[in-house]
Structure formats: C-alpha cells, structure tokens
A and B are shown apart, each in its own frame.
Chain A
Amino acid sequence: MSYSTFNKNQINPLKEPMFFGNSVNVARYDQQKHSVFEKLIEKQISFFWRPEEVDVSRDRVDFQALTESEKHIFISNLKYQTLLDSVQGRSPNIALLPIVSIPELETWIETWSFFETIHSRSYTHILRNLFTDPSEVFEDIVINEEIQKRANDISKYYDDLIFYTQLWQTHGEGEWEVDGAKHIVNMRELKKKLFLCINSVNALEAVRFYVSFACTFAFAERDLMEGNSKIIRLIARDENLHLVSTQQIINLWQYGQDDPEMKEIAEELREEALQIFMNAVEQEKQWAHYLFRNGSMIGLNEEMLCQYVEYIANMRMEAIGFDAPFKQRSNPLPWMNKYLVSDNVQVAPQEAEITSYLVGQIDSEVSASDLGDFEL
C-alpha cells in the first residue's frame, strides 16, 4: 500500500481511524472526528515562543560559580534533553505521518514536532552563551554511555515502526527478507508496533524530562541559572501538552472510541506497555544516580529526585489506566509546582512569576565588571 501525498479517493475522514486507514487528502478542520487534536493545535500555537527572546546572558556568570559537581549536573541534563528533543523533533513526523488518517491529528503531529525543534534550538541558545565553543558538549551526546543507554530505548520503538511501515508501503503484507532477516508484515503486526511506539513516546513525554526539570528549578530556587530556568519553564509547559496528546490517543484506543482492533491490541499488550513505562521510570532513577555521583546540589539529592520520579509516574500511569505502582503519593518537591503552572491562569504573584515577561527581552543586569574575569 504505497503512500500518496494526496489520496485521490473520496474519503470521509469522520469515519477513518486515527491511524492505518486511508491517508489524508484535504487538510480540513471544519469537521473533526477527534476535536481534541484541533484544540491541542490551537493551544500549542498560543504557546509559541522563541529561545532568542529569553535573555540567558547572566547565566554565564552563575555557571562559572557553580561547583564541579553542579556543573556536571547542569550540563549532563542539557545533553539528555538535547537527545530527547533531537528524537522528538523528527520522529513523530517520520513514524506517524505516513500512517495517520485524520487531518486534525496529522496537523497536531506536525505542530508537536515543530515545537520540539524550538526546544532543540533553545539548547544551542543556552550552550552558546555558556561556552565559546559548545561542540564538545554536543559531540559527547553520541559518545556518552549513560546517554546512549537511554537513546536506544527511546528510538527503538520508533525505528521498528518506521521500518515495518516502509516494508508495508513498498511491498505490502507478506513475509519479506531484508539483509538476511525475515520480517512478517501484516496489519495486526503493524498496529502492535504502533501501540508500543505510542506507549514509549507517552512514557518519554511523561517522565523522562522531570529529573532534569527538577534540577533546573532547584537552581532557580537559589536564584541561579534563571535564564535557563525560564526556557525550561516554557519547554515544560509544551511537554505537558505533548503528553496529553499521547494520553488521548491511548485512552481513545482503550475505550474503543477509535479503531476497535486497537482496543483489542491495547488489552493484549497491556503488560508490555506497563513494562515500557516501568523501564522508563527505572532509567530516570539511574539517571538521577549518575547526576549525583560526584556530589549533590543544595536543595536536592538522589533520593528526593527518585521520589519525585515515582510521584510523577504514579499520576501519569493512572492517566492511562494503570494502577499507581509506587507508594510516593505526596509531592516531595512542592516548589516544583510553581514552575509548572501555565500562565493563562492568574496565580497569586507570590506563587509564580508570569511568563509574559519572559518573552520580550529582559534587561540583563550584567555589568562589565561582572564579566571582567571571563574571556569572551
């Protein structure tokens, strides 16, 4: 079943499943099968921001004053986030666009991926400010073992789905040999791969950023690296939206509100989906361990971070119908919340600053004497 960029058949997108139906032809949003995706697009676009609008110049001074272990924490987290957004800036497009069947979801996927590219660009913005030449940091992302361990788990479900979709679109269903390996391609297998892939992405958006977010906001609590923290607040807001979209897809399947075969598959692969989530949680805890191996930072240690991961994981797992597996029911880092509040709602000014003054240049209060010791 080869892909066409403009399906000539007359199709009724209101009757199509989210994936593996007829490919989309007219990009129309006047009628929607699952209107939530159109609302997500609107919301995401209303969050538009540019990294360059956030002044990070003061962070350079702060960074120089961090201890070696704190620098390790800060830079390692940026590397990990760079990996995550590198994957997310392309993979939803490559894996999901060839198989999506309703226009509002197709456009959501593109919008979602586009925002991940803003995140990627923001890491360059942050790093360029900290280092005259940030190459070493970027180059380490494909060498660093701790990052590699995670990269593999994050990309493998996408890669598998992409590979099987390509086989299906070029050869159709059947048994195909590629480089000496046999592959059975049929619709059921494709849908299973899709299900696992979405669960893996869901786990990524749900928990994989939060160790890093917690460290960033712990620095901000000490009035350090505030430019970075402002950027991460904007990223965190976007990630919450991405997460809601994968939760929507999973729930629509589970409740039989979309493709009935996906409902069966959701039941059949429930344990595997659970395992994907639990593995992601475990990897995040190991990441916390790696971050703090040279020493902690004020206000945060490995144990608190792991408790926070469990707290977040409980919430995220309940949202897709799993029982909360961890006993951490209260928020061990209550100060995190003020950084995660969306500004569309007015909160008490003492609780959270308002992001509108993030976008639009902030006066950086760095004087020449502050920078006197540094080579620019």
Chain B
Amino acid sequence: MSQVFKVKVNGQHELTVDASQGNTLLEALEQAGLEPHYHCRNGFCGACRVQLTAGDVTYINDPLAFIRPGDCLACCCVPASDIEINQ
C-alpha cells in the first residue's frame, strides 16, 4: 500500500509526505518551510501540537504529552491517511 499522503495545512498549503521515509510530520512541515512550533522534538513537551481536522496519524514514538481529542503531536507522528491540520 502506498505510504504517500497529502497534508493540507491551514486550508491553504498542500504538501506530499511519504510516511515510509521515517520523517515525522514536524520534519515534513519544516521541509516545506512552514516553521511549525516545537521544543523537545521528542513527544514530551506538547509544543508541536497541531489540530488534526481530517484523517489519521500514526505515532512512531510513544508521546508523553496528553493528546486532546482533535489534536496531534507533529514531532512524533506520521500521516496514516491524507490529513488536514491547522497550526
């Protein structure tokens, strides 16, 4: 199954992420020049929280920060489908 998904950011930018490449969503956003928020890059501070308005993500590291319904932590997840996020 293809691991290449579309990520729509704030309803405007659209990027393509290959989830099999091992890059996190945060890294993908950075590569697209979007300056996402972060501190720890390791799932324990919550600074990289973005709203996940459509689609699903998979966590590649077990996050310690509480993930409120409708949010995701960009530093430790990859898209599991086409997704839409707001940051």
A residues near B (Cβ < 8 Å) are: 36, 39-40, 43, 237, 240-241, 243-244, 247-248, 251-252, 255, 315, 318-319, 321, 330-331, 334, 337, 340-342, 344-345, 347
B44 to A315, Cβ gap below 8 A?
no
A315 to B62, Cβ gap below 8 A?
no
B39 touches which of A40, A252, A321, A340 (Cβ 8 Å)? A340
Within B21-43, which residues are at the interface with A (CB < 8 Å)? 35, 37-42
A240 to B35, Cβ gap below 8 A?
no
20 contacts between A and B (CB under 8 A): A40-B44, A40-B64, A43-B44, A240-B40, A241-B64, A243-B46, A244-B45, A247-B66, A248-B66, A252-B66, A255-B69, A315-B37, A330-B35, A334-B35, A341-B39, A342-B45, A345-B40, A345-B41, A345-B42, A345-B75
Cα–Cα distance between A240 and B73 once the two chains are bound (Å): 15
Q: Which residues of B contact A321 (CB under 8 A)?
A: 68
Say if the beta carbon of B4 comes within 8 Å of chain A. Answer: no
Q: Which residues of A contact B44 (CB under 8 A)?
A: 40, 43, 240-241, 244, 342
Q: Which residues of B contact A251 (CB under 8 A)?
A: 66, 68
Cα–Cα distance between A251 and B71 once the two chains are bound (Å): 13
B45 to A344, Cβ gap below 8 A?
no
Q: Which residues of B contact A331 (CB under 8 A)?
A: 35, 37
B66 to A315, Cβ gap below 8 A?
no
Q: Which residues of A contact B64 (CB under 8 A)?
A: 36, 39-40, 43, 241, 244
Known contacts A244-B46, A315-B49, A330-B35; A341 and B40 CB within 8 A of each other: yes
- State the main secondary structure of chain B at its contact with A: loop
> Nearest 7 CB-CB pairs, A to B?
A240-B45, A340-B39, A342-B42, A342-B40, A251-B66, A345-B41, A248-B66
- We find that the number of chain B residues with CB closer than 8 angstroms to chain A is 19
Q: Which residues of A contact B41 (CB under 8 A)?
A: 341-342, 345, 347
Please give the distance in Å from A343's CB to the nearest CB on chain B. 9
B residues near A (Cβ < 8 Å) are: 35, 37-42, 44-47, 49, 62, 64-66, 68-69, 75
Q: Which residues of B contact A247 (CB under 8 A)?
A: 46, 65-66
Cα–Cα distance between A237 and B43 once the two chains are bound (Å): 12
A344 to B37, Cβ gap below 8 A?
no
Please give the distance in Å from B27's CB to the nearest CB on chain A. 10
A315 to B47, Cβ gap below 8 A?
yes
Q: Which residues of B contact A248 (CB under 8 A)?
A: 65-66
Cα–Cα distance between A37 and B38 once the two chains are bound (Å): 22
Cα–Cα distance between A247 and B63 once the two chains are bound (Å): 13
Residue among A240, A255, A334, A347 with max Cβ neighbours from chain B (10 Å): A240
Q: Which residues of A contact B45 (CB under 8 A)?
A: 240-241, 243-244, 340, 342
Please give the distance in Å from B31's CB to the nearest CB on chain A. 12
Residue among B39, B45, B47, B65 with max Cβ neighbours from chain A (10 Å): B45
Please give the distance in Å from B35's CB to the nearest CB on chain A. 7
Residue among B38, B42, B49 with max Cβ neighbours from chain A (10 Å): B42
A39 to B62, Cβ gap below 8 A?
yes
Cα–Cα distance between A243 and B42 once the two chains are bound (Å): 14
When C-beta atoms are compared, the residue in chain A nearest to B40 turns out to be A342
Please give the distance in Å from A329's CB to the nearest CB on chain B. 9
Cα–Cα distance between A40 and B65 once the two chains are bound (Å): 10
When C-beta atoms are compared, the residue in chain A nearest to B48 turns out to be A315
Known contacts A244-B66, A247-B65; A315 and B42 CB within 8 A of each other: no
Q: Which residues of A contact B42 (CB under 8 A)?
A: 342, 344-345
